[in-house]
Each structure stands twice: as structure tokens, then as C-alpha cells.
Structure 1
Amino acid sequence: MIPPDAGLDENSFYNFGYLNEVTKRMLRRAILKAVSVPGFQVPIAGHEMPLPPGWGTGGMQISAALIGRADMLKVIDQGADDSINATSIRRFFERVADSRTTLSTSEATIIQTRHRIPDEQLSDGQIIVLQVPLPEPMRSLEPSDAVTRRLHAFQDYGMLYVRLYEDTVKFGDAGAGTNHPVLVNGRYFAAPSPIPAFDNHKLDSSPALFLFGAGRHRRIYAIPPHTCVANLSFDDRPIVTRKPDGQCSLCGSTESYLDVISDDTGMSSFVCSDTSFCSAQRSGESTGGRP
């Protein structure tokens, strides 16, 4: 899964994967620790990447440490392959790692994503790298890192349940938002990145390896394949995740997560957030999408 050091290409101005080999070894050790302790936030050193923090530097560091010449890379931003951020990151790795890239979820071995998990069924051997702006699920409730680390150590998550109760009383449910905390392997609560709560079930017992990178906060954590993941909820009131009601105006899908778009006349319609899934549906391919 982790490629051997590739070294400096003879005709390149960059080390393979952009990062130097010492840095990549450090990141790989952190990733191995994160996989060994699912949901635990492993500290890493911060490294400069050629884009501002907050635009995916944490995910790019993980991808740079893992990518090899045999890998096929896919980059998506909020489900789209053709956004400026996704296109820029994809071109970056094409240049510094001479990597093959794809727009197909099923063909990719490494999928770097922000704000979404692909709607297509993932498979064994795939690595999903998620960019996380805020890795600590209790940060909005407790500003001190020392305190949140102690709360994780004692598995004291009372403030999360109080917040869940307040949201339930105020809004009726807590399944319509994003970044809803998840319990990983029955031990640590983790932030699943700002993905919609509709995507959280894709983390549970998935055959793929999920790696979460927070560049600004210098943290890495992981959800290994086939790991039990559960939403933060009360035993007698499980959250009900929601998505916009309707169907995609392009492919007709009612299974995928939908975005709302408006034309010049003000008319609104739905389209699949996952552009690769939508394209495959229109071409008649079997994508193995989830209901």
C-alpha cells in the first residue's frame, strides 16, 4: 500500500511526490499509527505545500506520501472532478509524481476528496484521502487542545451529547447538517470532515481505507477497512439523515446526493453532486451506487 521511496527523477526539478523522503517517511509512520488506532488524531509536523492552508494541504501531504508510479489518482472537490481546486491538485500530481489520473471512481487507487464521499461503491485496496479543516469534533464546544485530549483519553463525550440534545430540541433532528461526529470502532469520536451527514453511512464497514488530513491543525487520523462507524445519536432516537428530495435532471438518479442549481431565468433543478456517478449513470454503466 505504501510505495518504496522513488527518489529524484533525472529530468525533474522536484523530488518524486514533491515532499522529500524524510518527510514522507514521517508521514507514513503517522499514517500507520493512525490506522492502528482508528479515530485517534496523530500529530504531524506542518509542511509547506504550493497552495494556501484550508484548500487541501493536509490531504495533499497524505497523497504525496502514499502515491506511487502504479497508482491511479482521482481528485474531487464537493463531488466535482472539474472544479478549479480539483483540477489544480490533479495537475500538480501529474507534474511532480508523473502519476496517472482518472475521473472514474472505480479505476482510482487513491481518491483525494473534499466535502464528499463518492456515491459509487468503493472497493478493496482503494484509499480515500479526505481534507479536513477542523479535526477536533469538540472544538466548537471546548477551545483548549489540552482539555479535548483529556476528554478523549477518558472517553468523556458528554458535551457532544448535550449539543446533540440542544440541536434536536431546536431543529427537530440533527441529520440535515454536515460534519456530524461519528464513533469509530466503539472508542473515539471523530470529525468525518464537512461531508453531509447523508454520507456518514458510507464510512461504516467500508472496504476502502479512509485517511483524514488536517494541514492547518497538523493532524492525521484514519478509519481502516471494515471498521464499525456509528453516528453520534441517542439510543432511543437515532438520527435520520436527509438529502434534497427529487431526482437528477441529467441522469434521473434518486439515489445520489443532489445539488440545487439555477439557470438564468431563475428556474431551479437538481443535479448529482458526484459528477463521475452522474456521468456513469448517463452512459448506462453499472456503478454500484448505494440507496
Structure 2
Amino acid sequence: MSLAALTRPWAATSYGFLDASAKREIRRKMIKAIAVPGCQMPYASREVPMARGWGTGGLQVTLTLVNPRSVVKVIDQGADDGVNAASIRRFVSRVSGAAETWDTLAATIVQSRHRVPEEVMREDQVLVLQVPNPEPLRGVEPNISIARQMHADADYGKLWLTLYEQIVRKGRIMQGAAYPSLVNGRHVMTPSPIPRWDVPKLHMARHLTFLSAGREKRLFAVPPHTRVEPLVFSDRPYLVEDHADLVCRRSGISGYFMNELPQDDGTSAFEVSDSNLGIKAIRQAEGEAVEIGATWYLNREMSQ
């Protein structure tokens, strides 16, 4: 037996960077995730040309879905021009031949870190969310084996207790990003570190959402028209961030999630977090024929 007999002949990198075996495995796990909404599916997370914790899970799902007819949009904290977003978008385009875009309406695949676009996504679009920590029970049960058993038993008492303690001690639920949510009435998931503002966008949405954690080797999904209900008590309604009355200093639009920019005089200015929405609003105000799609929030209230 020789070493040559145990190895395959050299071949160029597989289409879309990932080898066929990796894609088959991820696709199988994606189908299972769709069949059991919100349930975490383990997969053999492959090495990709970026560091763990910088979106490797989302990148692997995107590379599995992409084809030359795809149009890819990548955002980082709402911005299309961030270094991480631009690098991922360029890499996906180069290894697949897919087109790049900043426009949510033109994209077929939207990969995002920590935000859901403000414009409503359609049935023919897929949202891929990068997830650093997919386990909602980690804060209350560090033993992963016990946490798995709690998911199997739908035993989320410790999670409810944590939320109750926050109300007792602080007067309100302090959970900000990654608010634990019940999917399809069965599994509790952590919806990535998206703000509370974005969680209602996943409820009964028309698009398919995948959430993938490459470092933790877990992925889960929210299929179209699936209930996503934040964990709240009946006498304590779910509240989003109080951004409805804030005005973007660049585009002049309001009623959307804003980034706070501290100023030298101690005050704060605000810019709309969805950068492409702000760009569209500016171009539209200047007289250009730019289409702004329907948004999740209308007149500062959830409309969809």
C-alpha cells in the first residue's frame, strides 16, 4: 500500500469553495432544520478562509445555496460597506460567479450579521443570519448535555425564571439582542444577536431564514409562515427599542432602527442602521427614480 493509492489526484478547488461532500451534508441538515423549526442541527463545520467567529457559519450556508444565477447581499450591523461584509460578498461572488448587490429588493440571498433588513423580504429570497452562540440555555445551563435534554423535554423553566428575575430586580426584562423566542410553539431559539426591533420580522415572514454558527457547529431554521414568539409574560408585553421618534441625520427618515453616534458636545446624533435604506431615501429626495420596498415598520409601528 502506497501513499499515492490512499490519496486522490490533484483537482482544482470545488465550485463555490466547499467540496461536494460538505455541501451534501449541510444541505441534509438544512432540510432537517426546515422540517423541525428552531431545532439545532449539528454539522461538521468546514474550514473557510476567515477566522472562526467572523461569520463562518453563515458563509458555509451561503456557499451551499449560491449558484451563478444568485444575487448576493451581505450586511454587517446593517451596513453593506463594512470590511467584513464587503470581504464576504466579494469572496462569494468570486468562487461562485454570483452577482453582488446592496439592494435588498434585488438580492436572492441576504447574509447578515446582527440585523434583518428594514425592507420586507419576499418568498423567493433567503435570509442567512450569522450566529455566534446558538444555545439559548447556555446562560442558565452550561452543561450542554443537560441543555440538550431540556430542549427534548421542552423544559424552559430556567429561562422563564431568568426573565422573571430581571423584572423583579430591574422592573423590566433587560434582555436586549438575541431575545429568546419560541418557534412554531415548540423549540426556543436564540435569533442571532439581532436587536429586539428585528425579532418580530421573523414572525410569519414570507422568506426562509437560516441561522448558522460555524464555531459551535450548529444550524437551525425558521421556515416561511412560521410563528416566532418572543418569551414574554401575559402582563408584560414585548417591547422593542424606543427608536420610533428618532430621525436620521443624513437621510431625514424616521421610524426605523437607528445607530447612535456620540458627539463632541455630549449630545447624540442618529443614522438609520440599514445603510442602503438611507442611501435610497437620499437618492429619492434628490429626484432619482429609486424604488423603496414595503418596510416591516410603517408610520413607526409594526405593519406586517
TM-score relative to the length of structure 2 = 0.88
One-letter code of the match for 1:117?
Answer: V
Provide the residue aligned with 1:5 in structure 2. none
Distance of aligned partners of 1:262 and 1:14 in 2 relative to their CA distance in 1, 3 Å threshold: farther
Matched, 1:282 2:288: no
Match of 2:288 in 1: none
1:238: which partner in 2? 237
> CA RMSD, aligned part only?
1.5
Alpha-carbon offset, residue 264 of structure 1: 5.8
> Which structure has the larger Rg?
2
Whether 1:258 and 2:258 are equivalent positions in the alignment is yes
- C-alpha distance in structure 2 between counterparts of 1:97 and 1:262, whole Å: 40
Per the alignment, in what secondary structure is the counterpart of residue 160 of structure 2?
helix
Quote how far apart the aligned CAs of 1:263 are. 5.0
Q: Partner amino acid for 2:216?
A: H
1:158 corresponds to 2:157: yes
Measure, in 1, the Cα distance between the counterparts of 2:141 and 2:155.
13
Moved more, 71-80 or 13-22: 13-22
Partner Cα distance (1:22, 1:235) in 2 = 47
How far off is 1:85 after superposition? Answer: 0.3
> Following the alignment from structure 2 to structure 1, what is the Cα–Cα distance between the partners of residues 204 and 238?
19
Q: Which moved more, 1:104-113 or 1:277-286?
A: 277-286
Query: Which residue is equivalent to 2:130?
Result: 131
How far apart, in 2, do the equivalents of 1:276 and 1:243 lie?
22
1:56 corresponds to: 55
Structure 2: which amino acid aligns with 1:290?
W
Provide structure 1 residue ranges, at least 5 long, that are not aligned to the other structure.
Answer: 1-11
216-225 vs 232-241, which moves further: 232-241
Equivalent residues of 1:175, 1:242 under 8 A apart: no
Give the 5 Å matches for 1:1-291.
13-174=12-173, 177-244=176-243, 245-262=245-262, 268-284=268-284, 285-291=291-297
Total equivalences in the alignment: 280
Q: 1:115-138 deviations in whole A, cap 9, x for unaligned?
A: 100011111111000000000101
| Residue 173 (structure 1) shift | 2.1
Distance 1:182 1:45, change over 3 A: same
Partner of 1:7: none
Secondary structure, counterpart of 1:138 in structure 2: coil
- CA distance in 2: counterparts of 1:121 and 1:62, whole angstroms: 21
Q: Please tell me the residue identity of whatever aligns with 1:278.
A: G
Asked whether the equivalents of residues 59 and 130 of structure 1 are also in contact (C-alpha less than 8 Å), the reply is yes
Check conservation: 1:74, 1:108, Cα contact below 8 A.
yes
Distance in 1 between residues matched to 2:275 and 2:171, nearest whole Å: 32
Residues 131-189 of structure 1 deviation map (CA, whole Å, 9 limit, x = unaligned):
00000101011111111111111111001110111112233222661110010000000
Give the distance between the partners of 1:277 and 1:187, measured in 2 at CA.
35
Instruction: Compute the displacement of 1:286 (Å).
Output: 2.7
Which amino acid in the other structure matches residue 162 of structure 2?
R
Q: Which structure 2 segments of 5+ residues have no match?
A: 1-10, 285-290, 298-304
SS of the counterpart of 1:58? helix
Aligned position for 1:8: none
Q: Given that residues 67 and 97 in structure 2 are in contact (C-alpha distance below 8 angstroms), is that contact kept between their aligned partners in structure 1?
A: no
Q: Distance in 2 between matches of 1:171 and 1:277?
A: 35
Output the CA distance in 1 between the equivalents of 2:272 and 2:138: 31
The secondary structure found in structure 1 opposite 2:209 is strand
SS in 1 for 2:52: coil
2:111 aligns to what SS in structure 1? strand
- Give secondary structure in 2 for the equivalent of 1:129: strand
Q: How many Å apart are 1:265 and its aligned residue?
A: 6.1
**Distance in 2 separating the partners of 1:21 and 1:103:** 29
Identity %: 42
Bigger mean CA deviation after superposition, 243-252 or 162-171: 243-252
